[in-house]
Structure 1
Amino acid sequence: MNKVKCECGHVNPHGTIFCEACGKSFEETDTQGLLDMRYEGSARRSQTYNKTFIDSIWNFFSSVKVGVWLIIITLLASALGTLFPQEIYIPQNMPPGDFYEQEYGALGKIYYELGFNNLYGSWWYMILVASIAISLVICSLDRVVPLYKALKKQGVKRNESFLRRQRLFAEGNVDTPESTDTWVKALKKKHYHVRVEDGNILAEKGRFSRWGPM
């Protein structure tokens, strides 16, 4: 897929919402509303690639809803497995099918026929557990990787439209380099990590909190 080159010269991955370097939005339909800062504008694989069979599998397991439903189904199956004793805990002097039917009637027979007598070792239960593990890994990678790259590459100088579309925005004048130095010193006293580039200041602290929207 073609990458997106910003007017600032930075080349962004396909699907990026706004430039990783300067913050200029690539969305032509909405230029006034607040920017979606959930992943710092980075492209998630699940929302970008959808051509191959592997992409389809990735997109399926990257859904949080799918992960939640897999957990719910597994919990329900696990609960049903405790309804009657598992096969390893019943007397071994008679066939399991006969035991469940004799002890628990028709419900016991259905329980045995559905394979709940050996639930935690059954192939479909193992698939459910493996699917949950796969979902957790893919969900994490699909969100962690682009967010990490975006936070690592964020530039100091930002496009004006990027700044104006933030939740909090204000304007003011800094007349002299001495004023800039004063701001930098004040921010550092507040334990901000400060970067300065061509008179622009980027002050940041508590970056860990920016991983919250994952």
Structure 2
Amino acid sequence: MPELEDITYSRDECVAAVRGYYDFLSQMYHEGSDVLSPPNGGWPAITQDNLRGLGKTDEVISLLRSLPYIRAPETSVLKLQSAPLCEFADWQQDSHNVSIGASNCEVLKHCSESAMLLEDIPPHVFSLTSGSYDNPVILLDTELGVVYWPECPGKIRCYPTRELVSDDPYDCAAENEAEWRADAAWAIPDFFGFSRTSAGSYTSSP
């Protein structure tokens, strides 16, 4: 298992991991054109002004501005997933909706972080996922370079296809964060490697 102290965060590495995973999903579900790449300078709607209500750090906003996102085609009956039955957030669309008054940051926080967790998630952590109340919350820490899956299904936690991070958050994390950090955690590239395996297995099942 990789030790937490040996893992570092890199924005470029994170963007590459997300891009590689989206390209993989687009080959399975969609056309390559459904992967939306940010323009030069990043997604214009993703700014601290638009998303100030999320209370996130400048690095989180910069990362969200740099990430690709995916557009599910109208004719598809399958939604792209970060893992089986788990929908990714589309932060560029969400930010645009906030900018035109069609949504607000309180709604985004509840959809992405859940009412149970949002008070315990620090500013340098954001959710990769967003959806209804039963959509899993999967969190990326831009200081540690780790992806956390609170309430991760036992089958995944006990038999992961990529090694989990070796760490005891009760020894080093803030008390209100330790529980959600203790469930399942991967280095960012390992999480997306695991997600490829999970998505492939899910779609190939009868």
TM-score (norm 2): 0.24
- Say which structure is richer in helix: 1
Greater Rg by CA: 1
